Structure 1
Amino acid sequence: MSDDRASGWRGTPELDSLLSAARKKLESNWLRIGGNITVHLGDPPDLWRLCSAISRSNAGLHSRAKTSRLDLARLDEWLAHPLNGGLGLIDTLNAQAPLQDKKRLAADKAEMKATALADARSLLNASVHGDWIDHWLSSLLNQDGTLGGRVAVDALRTAAHVLSLLPVDGLSLTELAENACGDTKALSSGGAPKLVLDALSLREGIPRPVDPVGIRLLWETAGVSVDALSSRVVLLGFRVEEDHVVARWLNEAADVGIPFPLTLDMIGRAALTNTADRVFVCENIAVVAAAARTLGKDSAAIVCTDGQPSAAVHRLLGGLRPGTALHWRNDFDWPGLQMTSRAVARYGATPWRMDEGAYRRALDTRNSEPLKGFPATSAWDPELASAMHESGRAVMEERLIPDLLADLA
């Protein structure tokens, strides 16, 4: 069972070389003692003698041999013999450093990722949140459908819980993080906020921004307040019932036909209840400028999102007087259809000149641009999306200003 050197092999480079190879084999084989290891002879110089002693055979082994195969069960039996230390292979290796069952660790990690992915799919039902959820989840997968190695399980869980709460009405990042997962710092750093922003970028059909302003604006598309002073909405003719400072500013601006930029901070200070039965929402500030110039104090109440609806927009609209008719429009592009669809779902808004006829009348290939981003649908007028697919052109809201002013008069 041992050679003439008995336990003298303990601590030698020859035995250390075998144990190192055995460790690699066991850690990649569920810590099961079985099979062979390939031994590269010659360095250390007496390795062939040790292999002969363990194998109890000199056949094919000599100082000029280059490689040999050693049965791990033989090595285990040899190490367990009292003359060779009395500890089997597993115990010998654990005495040096704890063995890692890498197969088990990998299997457990794969199971955790599969569970996290399934939980995210269940939490974020695409029929409720939209097809962009499927696009986002698919972007996280390897080709075999498993969760990619760059995606941390905890980050995915946090991101899924955050997305399940969106949109919100002006919540701060810390409030959103607390509501989603009970940790106010969950969105301050790490992988979770990046995953959420990736998802929102897909929803909006834009690249994920890397600059602070772009990141703030993207959060605001979901009603999240990153900065209550920067988040704003531009109003014209928006009169309210209250009689506090901000209310007086709004009413005085409406009475003289001046557009008024209202910040999220102002909206949060006191109630602002609209007096008009109808409120019109537009995307582009040029519409407000034209209405102020031509209609002035006689303009209907206008809310301008100035692009993607901000946290201020959502906070204001969330406080509209019950029964207010909300008329909503955007550019004729894929993000515009998406924003209008969300307004219909969230506020019961009526699309305002967002139909096939208005699109075709405004369409002019000389003054339009190619459609970009993910195609969207127009459930309120399916022919609109079809016409946009057919032409492949986007039409900005400014092209419709004469018709919009007629509605606002």
Structure 2
Amino acid sequence: MSVEDDVRAAWGVEPLRGLWEKAREALEVASPPATFRLELPDAETQRAVGELYGRPMWGQGTRISLSKLDEATRRSRFALGLAEALEILHEQPLTRREAAERDERRERTAETLRAALAERGLATAAWAEPWTQWLRQYGRVGDDELPAVARSAAKALGALALAEPPEAWTSRSELAASVGGAHAFDNGTALSRVVLKAAALAHGVETPGNERERRALWERCGVTLDAVSATVLCWALPLVGSDDWSQGVRQRTAQGLPTHLTHLDLRAAPARLVAPGTAIAVCENPRVLESAVEDGIAHPVVCVSGRPSTVTRALLRRLVDCGAVLHYHGDFDWPGVSITSSLLAHHGARPWRMSAADYREALDQAAANRTDLPNLVGVPLETPWDPRLSELMSTAARAIEEEAVLPTLLADLRRGLST
């Protein structure tokens, strides 16, 4: 016979059954007690427990010390600790009740979240499982709140742009109202926290840690925090309308002033903004637009000021819908490449001096002028409009900001970009 068989034959007898059950019960609680109460209903139980424990047993019950019982099983001919003996006798290892309950609670949480996501067709999204695991461990949502939060979060996530740039935009208050409360997505709410976590995972960015980062992530998903704070910088837009709104923008241009348009402005704007075929220069850095204003260049310019905001994309889409032709130039760095790719793919923009030859020319000009260029950092990206550009940027490992090629861009604007 094996050692396990010997243990079961010697200790798995009826008079000791209560001892082992009580010992397991005591060891599996979150904080095991020092002793436990054991009933001794008859003489046979008293004898068996006394022989194992190492002292005579009298009366109908006694207190058993866990540490002394462990010492007794180790002193026995089997030389087993109490936990090992219980695993053999009961044919299952000890499980701390707290851990088991925690695992069970987490699994219930996961099932609730998966069911809510499945209702919105999101259960198979790449971010769904990491989000579920995060919420199980760190989401800080109470069991009683979880079903409602899961349903509301899934409904909101179904309305967000989590893979592609948004085709349309909604305000955060409208989104909140759609899930049952005007303030559901205010900063600090459980719903805001769990939805932004899913959005961060979907877009492959860090969880936002401040108001600026939260705003950027909401906008990346097609949500505006309000209709007035986000703006897009414009210069000399050749508006065709005779309405007060169009005349007001044209008056600013006549005074040599650029215009910051908000979502509220775009709501008030006429449906038709510019004539079909209008060439619009789109730049990344406000310095390009500012220089065009200072030099009195009348070519229309829109500045995206980094990654395009929701109002920027809304204006660009409106212009394209009117038949305008967008020409985009940005920084020669990997974020600039990402923005270029997005605007070309989703707004039909044309690359403006964003070829490998343009990058090489800028490198040579910087070398001739002994201008120090910043290192190119980040993960290389493809440049489908000119595959050679990505290769050359990776090789040269230097970033070129728009200001470094400003004279060339301004010369283009003076001549006018073709349609």
**TM-score, length of structure 2 as denominator length:** 0.65
Change (3 A) 1:216 1:301: same
Partner of 1:66: 69
Q: Quick one: distance in 2 between partners of 1:227 and 1:275?
A: 26
SS in 2 for 1:210: coil
Could you give the per-residue CA deviations for residues 13-37 of structure 1, whole angstroms, max 9, x where no partner exists? xx99965842765x99xxxxxxxxx
Q: Quick one: distance in 2 between partners of 1:404 and 1:55?
A: 99
Could you give the per-residue CA deviations for residues 15-66 of structure 1, whole angstroms, max 9, x where no partner exists? 99965842765x99xxxxxxxxxx99x835x749589738965432333953
Partner of 2:196: 194
Change (3 A) 1:200 1:59: closer
CA contact (8 A) 2:338 2:381 kept: yes
CA contact (8 A) 1:281 1:329 kept: yes
Q: Quick one: distance in 2 between partners of 1:386 and 1:141?
A: 39
Partner of 1:242: 241
SS in 2 for 1:394: coil
1:384 to 383, 389, 397: 389
Shift of 1:169: 4.0
Q: Quick one: distance in 2 between partners of 1:236 and 1:311?
A: 19
Shift of 1:288: 0.8
Partner of 2:279: 278
CA contact (8 A) 1:158 1:192 kept: no
Aligned residue runs from structure 1 range 122-141, under 5 A: 122-123=124-125
Partner of 1:290: 291
Shift of 1:396: 0.7
Q: Quick one: distance in 1 between partners of 2:184 and 2:172?
A: 9
Could you give the per-residue CA deviations for residues 80-132 of structure 1, whole angstroms, max 9, x where no partner exists? xxxxxxxxxxxxxxxxxxxx8666555545555677889647346xxxxxxxx
Matched AA of 1:61:
Y
Matched AA of 1:268:
R
Aligned residue runs from structure 1 range 343-382, under 5 A: 343-363=343-363, 364=366, 366-382=371-387
Q: Quick one: distance in 1 between partners of 2:220 and 2:333?
A: 17
Shift of 1:312: 1.9
Matched AA of 1:66:
L
SS in 2 for 1:340: helix
Is there any run of 5+ residues in structure 2 with no aligned partner, and where? 1-17, 57-67, 74-81, 91-99, 415-419
CA contact (8 A) 1:123 1:164 kept: no
Change (3 A) 1:107 1:219: closer
Could you give the per-residue CA deviations for residues 228-271 of structure 1, whole angstroms, max 9, x where no partner exists? 22211111110212233331121123345432222222222232
CA contact (8 A) 1:329 1:353 kept: yes
Shift of 1:211: 3.2
Partner of 1:175: 174
SS in 2 for 1:370: coil
SS in 2 for 1:369: coil
Matched AA of 2:280:
V
CA contact (8 A) 1:241 1:272 kept: no
Whether 1:251 aligns to 2:239 is no
CA contact (8 A) 1:356 1:384 kept: yes
CA RMSD of aligned residues (A): 4.4
Counting matched residue pairs gives: 339
Q: Quick one: distance in 1 between partners of 2:398 and 2:128?
A: 29
Change (3 A) 1:61 1:258: closer
Matched AA of 2:25:
A
Change (3 A) 1:252 1:397: same
Q: Quick one: distance in 2 between partners of 1:245 and 1:23?
A: 81
CA contact (8 A) 2:131 2:201 kept: no
Q: Quick one: distance in 1 between partners of 2:395 and 2:130?
A: 28
SS in 2 for 1:326: strand
Q: Quick one: distance in 2 between partners of 1:333 and 1:175?
A: 36
SS in 2 for 1:268: helix
Whether 1:332 aligns to 2:332 is yes
Could you give the per-residue CA deviations for residues 268-294 of structure 1, whole angstroms, max 9, x where no partner exists? 223263325111111111111111122
Matched AA of 2:196:
K
* Identical positions, percent: 26
Change (3 A) 1:19 1:101: farther
Q: Quick one: distance in 1 between partners of 2:107 and 2:201?
A: 28
Q: Quick one: distance in 2 between partners of 1:138 and 1:109?
A: 12
1:22 to 2, 20, 25: 25
Q: Quick one: distance in 2 between partners of 1:322 and 1:290?
A: 27
Change (3 A) 1:114 1:315: closer
Is there any run of 5+ residues in structure 1 with no aligned partner, and where? 1-14, 29-38, 76-99, 125-135
Shift of 1:361: 1.5
Change (3 A) 1:168 1:150: farther
CA contact (8 A) 1:241 1:274 kept: yes
Partner of 1:12: none
Whether 1:393 aligns to 2:398 is yes
Shift of 1:302: 0.7
Matched AA of 2:361:
R
SS in 1 for 2:265: helix
Change (3 A) 1:291 1:355: same
**TM-score, length of structure 1 as denominator length:** 0.67
Change (3 A) 1:60 1:331: same
